[in-house]
Structures are given as C-alpha cells and as structure tokens.
C-alpha cells in the first residue's frame, strides 16, 4: 500500500541551510593561484555532489541531478550530502530536499535539529546564521496529510519516525515517486 497521490502546485516553500555554505568553505586555505588550484582539485576529488555528477556516487546518479537552472548546485547538494544518520525520509546514502510550506515550519525543524546537536556536544550556547532558499513545486506527490496510516513515520522521536519514514521513502523512490507531502512534525 502506498500513500495517496495529490496534485500539488505550491510556490515559495522554505528551506534553511547553514549560511557558511553560501561562500566557499576553503577560501582561507590558500595564498596564491597555484595553492588555490591544488586546494580546489583536492576539494573537487572528495565532493560528493561532483562525484554524483560523474556517476561515482552509489546513492544517486547523474541522470537524477538538476542542471541548467539557477541554484542547481544547491538543489543537488541536498541530495548528495546527506546527514550521516539520514533524515526522516532519506538514508545516509541519499539526501532529500526538505522544505516547509511556511517559514516557521522550516525554522522550527532547524532549531530542533541544531538543539539536538548542541545537546550531543554538551554545549547549549551557540548562534547560527541560516540562508533561506525558496522553491516552487508542481506535480503529483505522495501525501501523508489527513491519514493515520503512516503515523509511525511522523513520530517526533527519530528512533521511531526515521525508521518508518526511511523505509517508506525507499519503497516510494523505487516506484518512481517524485516525493512526499507531510504535516510539519515540529510545528503544529
């Protein structure tokens, strides 16, 4: 059984990512053009987004990446740089584009995850700057809203929700699904 398909046309979904990815993370590592070339060659050799584009990444192939649109690298990075533990609807082998219909939903999700990270390192004092990306979606997506059949996937506890969600997402991806619509877990 699969969730029902819903035709969605939604403009301005909100995705927040750390602002440090807005500028090159390695810009401070070189002093001249020769050093820059060496540093960029090393970075490119280990960049999963570029490896996926070359067909060298197991979780996603070059035919699945976006090309020829503004911010294609940002979109592709969401799928090629997954969290090592996966997410609610993706494993560590393949990322996902998570976005909220409302800014508040995206923000609450980021706050929750950042807080979990701070608890893990036992340091609850931090500031974080995020960049917001807006994306429009149009297509048929599997819909978990208004059904109790997939409540386990929406459990706020990652130990419960992520297991069910990752299994469901893998099955839907294998069947050619474009993605999932689901109610915000961290923002009622």
List of long-range contacts for 79-87, beta carbons under 8 Å, 24+ apart? 79/52, 80/48, 80/49, 80/51, 80/52, 81/48, 81/49, 85/158, 85/162, 86/162, 86/166, 87/162, 87/165
> What are the tens digits of pLDDT across the range 52-91?
888 888 889 899 999 999 999 999 999 999 999 999 999 9
pLDDT tens string 89-133: 999 999 999 999 999 999 999 999 999 999 999 999 999 999 999
pTM for this prediction: 0.84
Give the start-to-end residue ranges of the domains of the chain.
5-22+70-181
CA atoms within 13 A on the CB side of 62: 6
* Average pLDDT taken over every residue of the chain: 92
CB 79 within 8 A of CB 94: yes
């Amino acid at each position: 059984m699969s969730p029902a398909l819903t035709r969605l046309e939604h403009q301005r979904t909100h995705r927040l990512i750390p602002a440090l990815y807005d500028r090159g993370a390695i810009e401070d590592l070189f002093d001249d053009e020769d050093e820059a070339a060496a540093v960029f060659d090393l970075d490119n050799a280990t960049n999963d987004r570029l490896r996926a584009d070359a067909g060298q990444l197991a979780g996603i192939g070059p035919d699945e990446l976006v090309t020829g649109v503004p911010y294609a690298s940002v979109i592709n990075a969401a799928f090629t740089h997954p969290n090592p533990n996966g997410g609610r609807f993706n494993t560590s082998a393949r990322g996902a584009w998570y976005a909220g219909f409302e800014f508040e939903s995206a923000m609450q999700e980021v706050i929750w995850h950042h807080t979990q990270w701070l608890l893990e390192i036992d340091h609850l004092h931090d500031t974080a700057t995020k960049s917001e990306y807006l994306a429009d979606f149009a297509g048929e997506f599997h819909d978990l809203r208004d059904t109790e059949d997939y409540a386990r996937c929406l459990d706020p506890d990652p130990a419960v929700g992520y297991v069910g969600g990752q299994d469901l997402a893998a099955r839907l991806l294998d069947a050619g699904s474009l993605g999932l619509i689901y109610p915000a877990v961290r923002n009622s």
